[in-house]
Amino acid sequence: MTRTVSPLFAQASAGIVSAPHFLSAEAGANILRCGGNAIEAAIAVGSTLAVVYPHMNGLGGDAFWLISDGNAETVRGLAAAGPAGQHYSTATFLDAHLHEIPFRGGRSALTVPGAVAGWGAAYEFSRNTWHGSLSWGDLLEAAYLYAARGFPISPNQSTTLARFAPDLREQPGFLQQYLPSGEVPTAGTLWTQHALSETLKTLAKEGANSFYQGELAETMIRGLRAAGSLLTEADMSAFKTDWVEPLRVAFGQGEAINFPAPTQGVASLMILSILDRLKAHLGDHLSADFIHYNVEITKQVFRWRDQVVADPYFHDFDLRKLLQEDFLSEIDALIQPGRVLPTPDIGIGDGDTVWFGVADAAGRTVSVIQSLYHEFGCGVMAGDTGVIWNNRGCAFSLKKEQINGLEPGKRPFHTLNPAMYAENGRVQMAYGSMGGDGQPQTQAAILMRAKHYGLSLEEAVASPRWLYGRTWGERSAGLRLEHRYPKQVYADLQRWGHSLSWVPDYSDVMGHAGIVRLRSGLGSTFAAAADPRSDGGVVGVDAT
């Protein structure tokens, strides 16, 4: 299997993959070379990422997909994110004298993971609608081989392990899974995951449903309950994915497309739309004005996001109201040059995630995001399966009056939101990023730089970025700038009243972004970029 480092930018004539780990990009490209379509390749990318980037995502996590056959009107959303178990409510924790849901351990394993079901639903859609021809086992083969035979640990995984291992090593199965020698493996160390390879072998043989019913599901639930989780086999077997209608808003010469609730996709669209309306005031893409307008818009958008975005089965609010021109006009009227508005009381939106995009020779495109929420999720291995469980449930509130209060069968609020951009009725770009509250901000930076400022894809992704928000342990939100910004930009923002700090060049704090572009005309049909802040890569496929 090829293990050569992929470049961070590529062009091709018959399909392309962008992913935050180069081995997963190569796995997807191999499927395209074998005649697979964009969905089939994306399943190979996603399953491989679950193996080679385990601090960011895994079989025990969630996923959201945007799927396009090329026609902007037919873009579909696939929500593969699970709800809280039936034994969970605010009383579950309050009666135990806990006033917030723990971030780690079995008590934080309270939602059913949807990622594997998402692969299965996407596979069925591919076979039934796109006439996909590759077998389910073919699509999981790269993931299985990397788990069974090993792969070189990436620098990002090694540094993340070093940071979080002291807090997680006592969680059931964590030491066995990630620190078999007792020490943090250095980057480049060949690492195998035999328990996970056996789970992947079961999935390849028995299908995605075996993750939710049968012996594998029973083993995982036993392990979780021994660690303090209240999830049951009935919670697992009851889970179903949802096909949903995406949200859309006019942007530039086309439209931006994103995911509805329970994700913050509406926030990403609101920011883009307001920036588009105020573009005459933004200055250069590296200017203090561009950052200032983005931050002030983000403050107002997040204020609305936190009031209305929740599981639509529990809170039925029409998010399209927030995308109407008259409503957005009320927000953009608040944004003034050099004027810093009060900081709203926004929630903490940290977390690690992977975004990846695939386009095939027919122009069919997918934009996908997967996550365990925090690095390594709750830190608990579900039995001896090699599956580390998500801790997405700690995004719930224990205040019953809040819109995202914990209830049985309810999905938590998700920062995850995959994106697309369309012009003239055709999907032109798929893009996205990890980064919690940073995702809408990074999406705005990428699309504005690519479409409004006309930067190349590499520049759009790699250029210096900012992040507004609050991270763990902080009492108030602040603005971070990568140190590659000119000092005058920092001075201007500080003079206007922004609370600022520097972060290192190409910092993980800014997220791992990526973009795939389809274009018609002479020359290459596809182009893509991956983020130098990640261990990512782009692999293109040319017609033979």
Instruction: Find, among 512, 431, 509, the residue nearest to 474 by Cα.
Output: 509
Report the alpha-carbon distance of residue 22 to residue 17 in Å, rounded.
Answer: 10
* Alpha helices in 134-193, H assignment, sequence order: 136-149, 155-168, 174-178
Report the alpha-carbon distance of residue 287 to residue 270 in Å, rounded.
Answer: 21
- Compute the Cα dihedral for 322, 326, 328, 331 and give only its sign: negative
Q: Tokens representing 168? A: 């997680």
Instruction: Find, among 540, 534, 447, 461, the residue nearest to 49 by Cα.
Output: 534
357 and 432 Cβ atoms separated by less than 8 Å: yes
Intra-chain end-to-end CA distance of the chain, in Å = 20
Other C-beta atoms closer than 10 Å to the C-beta of 200 total: 28
342's CB contacts (< 8 A; 6+ apart) are none
Tell me if the bond preceding 312 is cis, omega within 30° of 0: no
Report the alpha-carbon distance of residue 536 to residue 510 in Å, rounded.
Answer: 15
Strands (E), 309-403: 352-360, 365-373
Q: At what angle do helices 136-149 and 38-52 cross, to 10 degrees?
A: 20
192 by DSSP, 3-state: which? coil
* Alpha helices in 361-513, H assignment, sequence order: 438-447, 457-462, 487-496
C-alpha distance from residue 317 to each of 278, 320, 413 (Å) = 27, 9, 14
365 and 427 Cβ atoms separated by less than 8 Å: yes
Strands lying side by side in the sheet with 242-244:
242-244, 76-80, 62-68, 365-373, 352-360, 15-19, 537-540
18 and 536 Cβ atoms separated by less than 8 Å: yes
Report the alpha-carbon distance of residue 485 to residue 502 in Å, rounded.
Answer: 9
DSSP string for 198-238: HHHHHHHHH-GGGGTSSHHHHHHHHHHHHTT----HHHHHT
Q: Tokens representing 90? A: 């605010």
541 and 29 Cβ atoms separated by less than 8 Å: yes
Q: Tokens representing 492? A: 């201007």
Residues acting as catalytic residues: 353
